[in-house]
Amino acid sequence: MSVAVLVVFVSGSLWGQEPSTTNKVLESDLLESKAQKLAQDLEENEAIVRRAREIAAEKRATKRYEKMVEQGRWEKFVEKYSIEIAMEKSGLAKLQRLNKRADSRRSYGLTLQGAELEELKEALLNSATIMEAYKKELARQITILSTPKGTIQLLMQWEKEL
């Protein structure tokens, strides 16, 4: 707020006069400006908090990775999670779940019905494609997780989900 505007605003207030429409507009503009500044500060603070959380998650993930390496568990980790992630991304895990559900129902003399049956039929028809996708995804995940950076990124993702 400029000095001239401040003088006009204050002088009107000192003499007991109602602030003019111009003064009200100026006051409104000042409040809006302050609100925008506060909103911007809040966004910056939220960004700082997000970055701090990312840094903390990265430190925890790095420590977990280093501990796995020290204890000789990293190779098992790569093996286990490469398979698990590849199964999910390729659709093989879904096919397995549908098969298990069908087997479970058969054990009670029941069968899959409606949408579940159609899903299973479609998955079985596409099983060759699913297996090919699984093989490619498995190779990709092994490549990613076989690097410290890839393992740490996965661990960070898990940290963020907690």
In a domain? residue 14: no
Q: Would you say residue 135 lies in a domain?
A: yes
pLDDT in tens, 129-140: 999 999 999 999
Q: Within a domain: residue 114?
A: yes
Determine, yes or no, domain membership for 10: no
User: According to the model, what pLDDT value does residue 5 have?
Assistant: 46
- Residue 15: pLDDT band with limits 50, 70, 90: low
What CA–CA distance (Å, rounded) separates 153 from 134?
Answer: 21
Domain membership of residue 8 (yes or no) is no
> pLDDT (tens digit, 9 = 90+) per residue, 77-111?
999 999 999 999 999 998 898 888 888 888 888 88
CB 134 within 8 A of CB 87: yes
Stated pTM of the model = 0.58
- Domains in the chain: how many in total? 1
SS3 sequence of 74-126 = HHHHHHHHHHHHHHHHHCHHHHHHHHHHHHHHHHCCCCCCHHHHHHHHHHHHC
Q: Does 3 fall in a domain?
A: no
User: Residue 96 sits in which domain range?
Assistant: 19-161
